[in-house]
Amino acid sequence: MGPKAIIHLDRLKSNYDLIKEKVNNLPIISVVKANGYGHGGVACAKALETHGCRFFAVFSIEEGIELRKAGIQSDILIFSRIDANSLPEAILHKLTLNLCHEADLPLLIKYAEENGGCPTVHLKVDTGMTRLGIDIHNTENIIHQLKEHPEVPCEGIYSHFATADEGDLSFAHAQESKFKSVIKIAENIGFTFKYIHFSNSGAVINLNQSVTNMVRVGMSLYGAFPSQEVPMDIPIQPVLEFKAPIVNIRKVPAGTPVSYGGVFTTESESTIGVIQCGFADGIPRPWYQNGHVMFKGKKYKIAGRICMDQFMVDFEGQEPHVGEEVLIMGDGSDGCVRMEEIARSINSTPYVISTGISGRTRRIYQD
Ligand SMILES: Cc1ncc(COP(=O)(O)O)c(C=O)c1O
C-alpha cells in the first residue's frame, strides 16, 4: 500500500533516440543525478547503457560510486566541486571529475606527483551561470598549465547555460560566444579536448550545436520539457506515472469541510476518498488549489490541503473501492495531467516536482 511510480523505461529509451536525432547523432551524456531526477538513477542508467549510452553524469562522488557498484561501465562525470579527500575513490571507481576552480589544478598536480596518477577531469568554464567554473579570464592560463602537466588527464571542456530554456535567447547566445572564444584560445595554445559539451535540454531544443561534440541532458530524457517557453516540437513522452491507492471512503453531506484549515467544503452530498500519498511522497502541496486526479478515465478534484502522507479526493457521485488507484500524473493522454502542467499551475518546475518523488514511493520499472 502506498504511492507507486511506474517508470516506463521504453519511453526513456525512445526519448534518448529522439534527442539523439535532434542533435544529429552527437553522443549524449545522460544526466542521472538526484536519483535520475526521481526516476531511479541506477535503473535509468542501466537501461540507457544497454541502449547504447556511453556517458553519464551525476552530482556527487557517492552517486557515481553507486552507479559503478550497480555495474555501469561507461564514463561517469561528477558535477560537484573536487574534494581533495575523494581523489582516491575517484581513481578507484574511474570517475571523471569537474575541474571548475583555479585552486584545484595545483591540488591535482600535487596529487599526481605524490601518487603517480590522478583522476581524469573535464575543465568547466563559467560563461554566465555564475556557479561552478573557471573564470573566463583565467582559462588561457589554466589551459597552458594543463598542457604543461599531462599527468593531469583533461579529456573535456564544458560550460552550463543559465537561460537556454527561455523565450529570449540573447543571454544564451552571449554565453555561446564566450565559450567559442575559449575553444579558440585552446586551439591557439595547441591543446585538444576530446570532449566539448555545453547543451542541456533547453539548448538541445533551442540552439544549434556548432562548437560542441556532445550534449548533456537530463529533463528531456525523462520526457518533460524544461520550461513552458521552449518549442515543444520533439514528441518526448513522460517516463513517469504517479499513482496511489484509495485507503478509505466516506459519504458526507453537503457543506462538509475536508482536511487542514477546512478550506475545502463539499458542494453537495459526496464521497470523500483518502489517498495514501502526501507531500512527503512527492505530490506537490500547492497542487491542491487547482489539482485533480484521474480515476477510471474521469477527473476528480483534490479536496482540501494535501497532508504529509495522505490527501483527499471528492469523488462526487462515484463509489470507488478501497484498494483502487488514482492516477496523479502521467503521459497527458485522456485528461491525465503531465508534470509540466502541474508545474505551470503551481508556479514551479518539472525539476522540482520530479526530484520530489521520494524514497517512500515504490518504483516499478516497465520496459
Ligand atoms: C551541469 C549540468 N549539466 C546538465 C544538466 C542537465 O540539464 P537538463 O536537465 O535541463 O537537461 C544539469 C541539470 O541541472 C546540470 O547541472
For position 334, what pLDDT does the model report?
A: 85
Q: Which atom of ligand 1 is nearest to the CA of 202?
A: 10
**Cα 261 to ligand 1 centroid, rounded to whole Å:** 38
216 within ligand 1 shell (Cβ under 6 A): yes
The structural domains of the chain, ordered by start, are 9-217 (3.20.20.10), 240-366 (2.40.37.10)
Angle between helix axes 61-69 and 41-50 (nearest 10 degrees) is 60
80 within ligand 1 shell (Cβ under 6 A): no
CA gap 218, 208 in Å, rounded: 18
Nearest of 246, 315, 243 to residue 275 by alpha carbon: 246
**Cα 205 to ligand 1 centroid, rounded to whole Å:** 13
**Cα 218 to ligand 1 centroid, rounded to whole Å:** 6
For position 190, what pLDDT does the model report?
A: 97
Q: Which atom of ligand 1 is nearest to the CA of 351?
A: 9
Tell me whether residue 33 is one of the annotated catalytic residues.
yes
291 within ligand 1 shell (Cβ under 6 A): no
For position 359, what pLDDT does the model report?
A: 78
Name the residue of 37, 44, 79, 229 whose CB sits within 8 Å of the most ligand 1 atoms, as the mutation to test its pocket: 79
For position 138, what pLDDT does the model report?
A: 97
Residue 320 buriedness (CB in 10 A; 0-12 / 13-18 / 19+): middle
Backbone angles phi, psi at 190, to 5 degrees: 85, 30
Out of 260, 296, 298, 299, the active site residue is: 260
For position 335, what pLDDT does the model report?
A: 85
218 within ligand 1 shell (Cβ under 6 A): yes
> Which residue do the cell numbers 573564470 mark?
135
Out of 4, 22, 33, 301, the active site residue is: 33
Q: Which stretches of the chain score pLDDT less than 70?
A: none
Between the CA of residue 349 and those of 150, 168, 289, what are the distances in Å? 42, 18, 17
**Cα 157 to ligand 1 centroid, rounded to whole Å:** 15
**Cα 141 to ligand 1 centroid, rounded to whole Å:** 27
Nearest of 52, 58, 56 to residue 25 by alpha carbon: 52
Tell me whether residue 16 is one of the annotated catalytic residues.
no
For position 209, what pLDDT does the model report?
A: 86
